[in-house]
Chains A and B, each alone.
Chain A
Amino acid sequence: MAKHHVTTTINGDPVEFLCEPEQTLLDVLRDELGLTGSKEGCASGDCGACSVMVDDRLVCSCLVLGVEVDESTVETIEGMADGDKLHPLQQKFLEEAALQCGICTPGFLIAARALLVKNPDPTETEVRYWLAGNLCRCTGYDKIIRSVLDVASEMKRA
């Protein structure tokens, strides 16, 4: 079967790629485009390590086909910092030890940013349930919750 030609925007840059019809967006990002910040933890939409934004919607990129993002906008962890300047969530995660091995971290950051865009002033319960789709086996979660709440209140003050 012929490869499909896909035209998209990734992290603000126009990108074209060829992919097999059965290739997931996660595999396209990692294997075809070298954007390996999105991680594979299950390939079944259970762990959230592959979280990216497609047209401002939070998705598991392991459950999206590459061909589906034709004419769409994709945002990944590689586009989260502004050059050398980390996003406040990235900075806070780093300072508060809200990461350990780091494999789940990109997914958490993408999901947390999506929450704050949708709901800039979340309650602790809202943070917990929004991020319940992202699994972590190292950190114990509590520092992640605090980091997201802290950034929300700092962004509100700013």
Chain B
Amino acid sequence: MTTALIGQPISRVDGRRKVTGAATYVAEFQAPGLVHGAIVRSTVANGRIASIDSSAAQQAPGVIAVLTHQNAPKLAYRAHKGAPDPGIGERLHVLQADRVSHQGQPVALVIAEGLEQAVHAAMLVRVTYAPEAAITDIARAEPVPLTPPSETRRGDPDGALAAAEVKLGQTYVIPRENHNPIEMHATIASWDGDSLTLWDKTQWVHNVADEIAAVFGIPARNVRVISPFVGGAFGSALRTWPHVTLAALGARVAGRPVKIMLSRREMYYGTGFRPHTVQRVALGASRDGRLGAILHNGDQETSTYEEFTEALLNATGFLHSCPNVNTRHRLAPMNVHTPTYMRGPGEASGIFAIESAMDELAVALNIDPVELRLRNEPEQDEFRQLPFSSRSTRECYQAAAERFGWSRRNSEPRSMRDGRQLIGWGMATATYGAGRAPASAMARLLPDGTAEVASAASDMGPGTWTSMTQVAAETLGLPIERVRFTLGDTRLPRAPVHGGSITMASVGSAVQAACRKAREDALARGGGTNDVTEAMRRIGQPVEASVDSTPGDESQRFSMHAFGAVFVEVAVDPDLGETRVRRIVGAYGAGRIVNPKLARSQCVGGMIGGIGMALMEHSVVDGRNGRVSNANFAEYAVPVHADAPPVMDVIFVEEHDPHVNPLGVKGVGEIAMVGVAPAITNAIFHATGKRIRELPVTPDKLL
């Protein structure tokens, strides 16, 4: 065996291609005869298309075809539900009827020789509407129960709240946010008879193939999807959005490969968003800080055609110990396109409410916020009545508090200053589920002592290429530079969706199993040597192993989550209301860390995402018509270099979890986003004495 590679801070194996500009993202693939598509989008939020006049567009230079619901081929739209699709409802069908359900819905597609020609002709398509009343503001929407209703209850929450010595109840609001990966979504579609090749920005190539096959009524094996490099996604590329269907449809009609690349503005109208949520939390506690009751209700926007839900209230049931808990999740169907999962989905929003309320309780009780959480640390998952596979919250509080210097905190609001700046220290707990899904992988040892390992996984940035190469090389017993890992192609063994922090647990376990089998086979046939390179030289031909790796019943026997604690220092300008985050310290119990360099990078990136969520990000929806009035990078503020705190500390506490999966990993991509926003707003309260319960905390809210 070579030295251990799992756990080493290896630099990205795909890094050289990325720093030289050689990495090819979807929009950069070439297909002979490629032409361009531009989408005409609805300018009303609800109604019917009264007329479409595409004559001027059809006569514009370079135009090959203009497709509308009047002339587009009828598509099969067979039933298909991938894991990221809402369980209830039906996906948007494009160009199949005159019905418009939201602003920005595709109503026509122009195919032209050149991109500028397509964009110009799209502006010449004249559409009139018979508009109907639209609901685009959650305040005017009527929340309804999920199908089936999602309400949990243990103990007697109402009675316990009424009887509690100390109680509080508040409403917490998170606006719509957009993922805004720097790479825009793009698809290139190319037909060869009844077979289709798609180059698509996606977090799951196999689901794109399955869905497009269902839409067009062809076998999934006829669709090949290629997606080697993904320029960020954060959830926006989990689902197969309408523009993918449009690219395939356009290519079929034009008889030429078609490329559709969304503009930054279009990214706000067709690739999902973190839904606007309104949460009500009531806490009851004894004077010594024991939680007696938690009531947590959440309303969340969705579209009129699908019930999108995220795990908004899940963590409430197990994060803190409490005998009496009620959660109720409802949806507000609105004239918007369907929201989707965005980094840390569910927990990032739900825990903002719970951890803000816990801070308010700490203030009301005059108990240190860390101490309050320690007094309510559960021994097991009280919701599912299961032991945790591992839970390192205490270690995280301790490690982060110590690194941060929390013991020097003066608990009095407005008591800490630096010159004229008000200084505040705040903290919050974080958690995210440690999931695992079935995955397959192939390992092929070659006589020259190198190996090819493959799984149709994705790498939107966390480092799948690198971490899988580490697992493969260590398991095979080869130096890392002799192992080549391949991903992002439906011709490779099937992998699950690249989201929810499950890739390492799922694909990593499959890669490990396939490599173990290939190595064992090689050594068995290699004539007694224990050196796989020597064995392969003797065998003289490839040795290949393919493995389907599936989780066992561990998720039925254990409650499996990563946990963490986030500590933040802010400085608030008392005259300008501007908040700067000066320090963030995050400690995480996330099982085994395969690559500390890349895992730290993930966590720092999540912290910055949390700063955006807390202080800047807000897709401003015009309640009159559903338009996003800041659908661009100039007005949708995201953190920049100057916003990054000078101190960003990431601690991985030692955690060995023998239950969660063969590698003992929990993933860090989502949890890094969780807990940051409440830690910041709690720090802002400490700095200013002002409790802000509606994100983002822009300066006007502090003046």
Which residues of A are interface residues toward B (Cβ below 8 A)? 20, 22-23, 27, 30-31, 35-44, 46-47, 49, 76-78, 80-81, 86, 90-91, 93-95, 97, 99-106, 109, 124, 127-129, 131-145
Nearest-neighbour CB distance to chain A for B318, whole angstroms, equals 28
- Closest A residue by C-beta to B180: A137
A-B residue pairs, 9 tightest by C-beta: A37-B21, A103-B231, A102-B18, A140-B604, A101-B461, A46-B633, A100-B461, A77-B21, A141-B644
Nearest-neighbour CB distance to chain B for A155, whole angstroms, equals 17
Tell me which residues from 461 to 485 in chain B have a Cβ below 8 Å from any Cβ of chain A: 461-463
Range class of the B interface residue count: 35 or more
B264 at the interface (CB under 8 A from A): yes
B641 at the interface (CB under 8 A from A): yes
Nearest-neighbour CB distance to chain B for A91, whole angstroms, equals 8
Interface centre among B23, B116, B261 (most CB of A within 10 A): B23
24 pairs across A/B with beta carbons < 8 Å?
A: A22-B116, A37-B22, A41-B184, A41-B633, A44-B632, A49-B182, A77-B21, A80-B20, A80-B21, A90-B19, A97-B600, A100-B461, A100-B463, A101-B231, A102-B23, A102-B461, A103-B181, A128-B642, A134-B641, A137-B638, A140-B608, A141-B640, A141-B643, A145-B644
Residues of A within 8 A of B600 (CB): 97
B19 with A145: CB separation less than 8 A: no
Residues of A within 8 A of B179 (CB): 137
B665 at the interface (CB under 8 A from A): no
A99 with B15: CB separation less than 8 A: yes
Residues of A within 8 A of B290 (CB): none
B460 at the interface (CB under 8 A from A): yes
Which of A31, A127, A138 interacts with B232 by CB under 8 Å? A138
B21 with A106: CB separation less than 8 A: yes
Which of A97, A100, A105, A132 interacts with B11 by CB under 8 Å? A97
A143 with B264: CB separation less than 8 A: no
A137 with B182: CB separation less than 8 A: yes
B21 with A76: CB separation less than 8 A: yes
**Once A and B bind, how many residue pairs between them come within 8 Å at the CB atom?**
173
Bound together, the chains give a CA A27 to CA B462 distance in angstroms of 29
B229 at the interface (CB under 8 A from A): yes
B182 with A46: CB separation less than 8 A: no
B598 at the interface (CB under 8 A from A): yes
- Closest A residue by C-beta to B645: A142
The B interface, classified by DSSP as helix, strand, loop or mixed, is loop
Residues of B within 8 A of A80 (CB): 20-21
Bound together, the chains give a CA A134 to CA B607 distance in angstroms of 18
- Closest A residue by C-beta to B605: A140
B232 with A137: CB separation less than 8 A: yes
Nearest-neighbour CB distance to chain B for A17, whole angstroms, equals 15
Known: A43-B263, A140-B601. A77 touches B20 (CB 8 A): yes
- Closest B residue by C-beta to A86: B19
Interface string of B636-670 (1 = CB under 8 A from A): 00111111111010000000000000000000000
Bound together, the chains give a CA A6 to CA B19 distance in angstroms of 28
A135 with B638: CB separation less than 8 A: yes
Bound together, the chains give a CA A137 to CA B611 distance in angstroms of 12
Interface centre among B231, B598, B606 (most CB of A within 10 A): B231
Bound together, the chains give a CA A46 to CA B638 distance in angstroms of 11
Residues of A within 8 A of B78 (CB): none
Interface centre among A20, A129, A139 (most CB of B within 10 A): A139
Residues of A within 8 A of B22 (CB): 37
A94 with B15: CB separation less than 8 A: yes
Known: A46-B632, A128-B641, A140-B607. A102 touches B14 (CB 8 A): yes
B24 with A129: CB separation less than 8 A: no
B115 at the interface (CB under 8 A from A): yes
Residues of B within 8 A of A139 (CB): 601, 604-605, 608
Nearest-neighbour CB distance to chain A for B445, whole angstroms, equals 28
Residues of A within 8 A of B638 (CB): 135, 137
Residues of B within 8 A of A129 (CB): 641-642
Known: A132-B641, A132-B642, A137-B182. A42 touches B232 (CB 8 A): no
Interface centre among B12, B18, B116 (most CB of A within 10 A): B18
Nearest-neighbour CB distance to chain B for A19, whole angstroms, equals 11
Tell me which residues from 1 to 26 in chain B have a Cβ below 8 Å from any Cβ of chain A: 11-12, 14-25
- Closest B residue by C-beta to A44: B632
B182 with A39: CB separation less than 8 A: yes
